[in-house]
Structure 1
Amino acid sequence: MIKAAKKLSSQSASFIAPVLFLFTLSTACGTSNPSSSDVKVTNGVAISENVFPSAVLLMLETPEGQGLCTGTFVNDSQVVTAGHCVEGLSAKNPSVFYSTKINGELTPLAQAVSFKRNPRYSIELGVNPNDVAVINFPAGTAPATTPIASQTPRVGTEFTIVGYGNNANYNNASGLLEGSGAGVKRQGRNTLEAIDNNMLSFVGLTGKETKSTYAKGELVASGEGDSGGPMFVAGKLVGVTSGGGLVKADDGVTDIAISFYVDLNNAVNKAFLATVINE
C-alpha cells in the first residue's frame, strides 16, 4: 500500500484545487477527442453508460469556457454534484446539460432548469466540506437513480468512484499539474483513509505509472472532470468529489494522487439536501 508522507488534510496543502475540467473557449463539446491518450490507465477502468447509469456527464457553459463535471441522479429529475461546478451560472435556466456520447461525440440530452447550491459554500473556499449543489432537470430525465446514504462511511470502508475526468494526473517538466483522458466514463475502487474537517479522503495512483503492482481499477483517484462525481458504498451515494492533487509518497520521490470528497451526511449538507431534494 502506498502512503502519503503527510497527514491527509484539505487544509494543509497548497496543491489542492477543485477538479472541474475546462475546455478552451474555442473547443466545442462535440469536437474534442478526450479519449485519445497514450497514458497507461492504472487508476480507472473505462465502462459503458449502462454501468452505474445514475452517474452522468454534465457539460457546462461557464464564463471561462465549456466545462465538464460528473453528477448523480438521486431521483428522476435531480442531480447531486459539486457546488463549484455551477460557479458563475444563472440559478434559473442554467447552461448545464446532461450529456452522453453518440457516435463518439459528446451530445446534450437535457438542459437543467435550475439549481441550488449549499449557501455555506463559496468558490473562494476551494476544497470545502460544503461543496455541494443540486441541479434540477425536467421530470423523467434520469436514466437511473441512486439514493443518498443515511450515514457517513467509516475509515477503512471500500468504495467505488465513478467519473468522466482525467485518467492521469501528473506534474509536467515545469512542475505544473497536467492530465489527460477526460470525457470517458470510468470506475474504480479504493479504501477510505481519513475523515478530516468533514471531508472523505484517500490516496491513489496518478495514472502516469509505467509499471504497477496494482490491477487496473484498483487504488484509484479523482482527476479534473471528476468534480461532483459519486463515491458509492453498498449501492448508495455517500459523497461527491470536491478536489485533489499530488503529494509525495514516503520515499519522498514518487508522486501519488490525493482526493477529497464531500461527506453528504455532515450536518450542514444533510440539512441543505433535506430542503432541496424533491422540492
Structure 2
Amino acid sequence: MQINRFRAGLLGLSCAAAIALPVSSAHAVEDPGGGTGDIVGGDLAQTADTPWAIQLSNVNSPDPTGEYCGGTLVTPTKVVTAAHCVEGTSTGEWTAIQGRDRLTDTSVGRESKIASIWSDPSYGRGGGDVAVMTLATPFDGVPTLPLNEDPGVGESNVTATVYGWGNTEGTGPANTFQKVDVPVRGDATCSSVYGNSYNPGGEICAGYPEGGKDSCQGDSGGPLVAGGRLIGVVSWGRGCADPGYPGVYAEVSTYVDDIKAQL
C-alpha cells in the first residue's frame, strides 16, 4: 500500500487517507510508533541554519509533542506543506512552530496558529499533494525559502536535502530536527519502481538504491531542497529507507503557479 508520511493515528484519519489513494502494488507499512524521532539515516540539523523549516503540530497527533507534519516558510505568513497532512482537519487543530530544534524544548522558538488552509483541488486524482497554510501570527524577520520553478531539476541527478522531525526508525534522537542528503532519481526510475502509483507529471523521487536514508512518517509536508530552493514536498513511499524504494515528493515546479496564487 502507498503510505503517506504524516504521523499515523490522527483520530483514524491517516488510515482512511492512505486507503483512498490510488495504488498499483502492495507497499509495506512502516509502524511509526509514538514519540520516536525523525529523518531515517540522517544527521542533526539546526533551525538556525534553515529558519524556513517549519514543524506543524496537531492537537490530535499520537505523539506527545503534537508532532505531525513539516512545512516550509515561503513568505512571513505562508507555509507550504502536503495536502494529505491537512485533509479532513480544521485550522484550530494546528500550530506552526519555527526555530525549535528539539520539540520538547518549548522555551525556544516561535509559534503561530493557522488562519486558513488551501489544499490543491487536484489532490487525490494522481497528484496535487501540496497545500498552503496562512499563519495567524506572521513570522516577521524569518528568512524564507524560494520556490523552484525549473521543471528540469527532477531529471538533473542533483543531490537534494530533506528536513524533518519525523520517525528515525531508531537511527536518531526522538523529536529532534534532522536532515539527510538524497539523490533525485528521475521519472524513469521512479516509474519503474512504483508503476502507476507514481505521477511523473507532478512528482519526483529521491533516495539511494541501497536504501538507508530517507524521509519517514512525521516528515510529510516538509522540504526537499536543492540549489537554495524548495524543489519537493515530502509525500509518500514504501516503508522508509527500504532498499530499492526511494521517497516520493510533490514536485514544486509543477504546482508553482497554483502555490503563488495563494501567497
Does the pair score TM above 0.5?
yes
TM-score calculated relative to the size of structure 1: 0.68
2: distance between equivalents of 1:42 and 1:68? 16
Counterpart for residue 117 of structure 2: 115
2:93 counterpart of 1:89: no
2:256 counterpart of 1:270: yes
2:214 counterpart of 1:221: yes
**Partner amino acid for 1:116?**
W
2:171 counterpart of 1:183: no
Q: Which has the higher helix share?
A: 2
Matched residue count: 219
Q: CA deviation at 1:270?
A: 2.7
Contact kept? 2:157, 2:183, Cα under 8 Å: yes
Q: CA deviation at 1:48?
A: 2.2
Counterpart for residue 203 of structure 1: 207
**Partner amino acid for 2:122?**
R
Counterpart for residue 150 of structure 2: 151
Query: Could you give the per-residue CA deviations for residues 57-112 of structure 1, whole angstroms, max 9, x where no partner exists?
Result: 1002349885510100001010000001111112xx43211136488626472111
TM-score calculated relative to the size of structure 2: 0.71
Q: Secondary structure at the match of 1:149?
A: coil
Counterpart for residue 3 of structure 2: 17
Structure 1 window deviating more from structure 2 (147-156 vs 64-73): it is 64-73
Structure 2 portions without partners, runs of 5+: 12-33, 188-199
1: distance between equivalents of 2:4 and 2:111? 26
Counterpart for residue 71 of structure 2: 71
Distance 1:139 1:247, change over 3 A: closer
Q: CA deviation at 1:46?
A: 1.3
Q: Secondary structure at the match of 2:57?
A: strand
Match of 1:60 among 47, 51, 58: 58
Q: Secondary structure at the match of 2:180?
A: strand
Contact kept? 1:20, 1:67, Cα under 8 Å: no
1: distance between equivalents of 2:240 and 2:74? 33
Query: Could you give the per-residue CA deviations for residues 165-203 of structure 1, whole angstroms, max 9, x where no partner exists?
Result: 11228xxxxxxxxx9855221112121112234211123
**Partner amino acid for 1:146?**
L
Counterpart for residue 161 of structure 2: 160
**Partner amino acid for 2:113?**
Q
1: distance between equivalents of 2:168 and 2:144? 25
**Partner amino acid for 1:260?**
V
Q: Which has the higher strand share?
A: 1
Distance 1:51 1:271, change over 3 A: same
Query: Could you give the per-residue CA deviations for residues 123-181 of structure 1, whole angstroms, max 9, x where no partner exists?
Result: xx5xx531000000035325331010121213311111111111228xxxxxxxxx985
The structure with the largest alpha-carbon Rg is 1
Structure 1 window deviating more from structure 2 (71-80 vs 196-205): it is 196-205
Contact kept? 1:44, 1:186, Cα under 8 Å: yes
Query: Could you give the per-residue CA deviations for residues 195-249 of structure 1, whole angstroms, max 9, x where no partner exists?
Result: 2342111233655xxxxxxxxxxxx31100110111111111111011112499x
2:248 counterpart of 1:260: yes
Structure 2 counterparts to residues 35-46 of structure 1, below 5 A: 35=37, 43-46=41-44
1: distance between equivalents of 2:3 and 2:247? 10
After superposition, the CA RMSD in angstroms is: 3.2
Structure 1 portions without partners, runs of 5+: 1-14, 26-31, 170-178, 208-219, 249-253
1: distance between equivalents of 2:134 and 2:205? 28
1: distance between equivalents of 2:176 and 2:252? 25
**Partner amino acid for 1:47?**
A
2:224 counterpart of 1:234: no
